[in-house]
């Protein structure tokens, strides 16, 4: 069975191969750290960087 990081790697590879973007919403900080861009939120609002 695939874990979340392995599945994310597959999604990332397919998206790059086809020139698409992927939006992922997660509470998994390890997964978020693997993203090209992470936009943290609190109370339904994006936090300023």
Distance CA 27, CA 1 (A): 21
- Label residue 3 left, alpha or beta by phi (over 0 means left) and psi (-120 to 50 means alpha): beta
Residue 1 has pLDDT above 60, yes or no: no
Q: Is the pLDDT of residue 29 over 80?
A: yes
Domain ranges of the chain: 4-41
Q: State yes or no: pLDDT of 4 exceeds 90.
A: no
Alpha helices in the chain (DSSP H): 4-18, 29-33
Spatial contact of 12 and 4, defined as CB atoms under 8 Å apart: no
In this prediction, residue 5 has a pLDDT band, given cuts at 50, 70 and 90, of: confident
The pair of structure tokens assigned to 37 is 């861009």
């Amino acid at each position: 069975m695939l874990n979340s990081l392995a599945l994310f790697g597959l999604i990332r590879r397919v998206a790059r191969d086809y020139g698409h973007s992927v939006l992922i919403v997660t509470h998994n900080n390890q997964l978020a750290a693997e993203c090209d861009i992470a936009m943290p939120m609190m109370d339904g609002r994006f936090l300023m960087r």
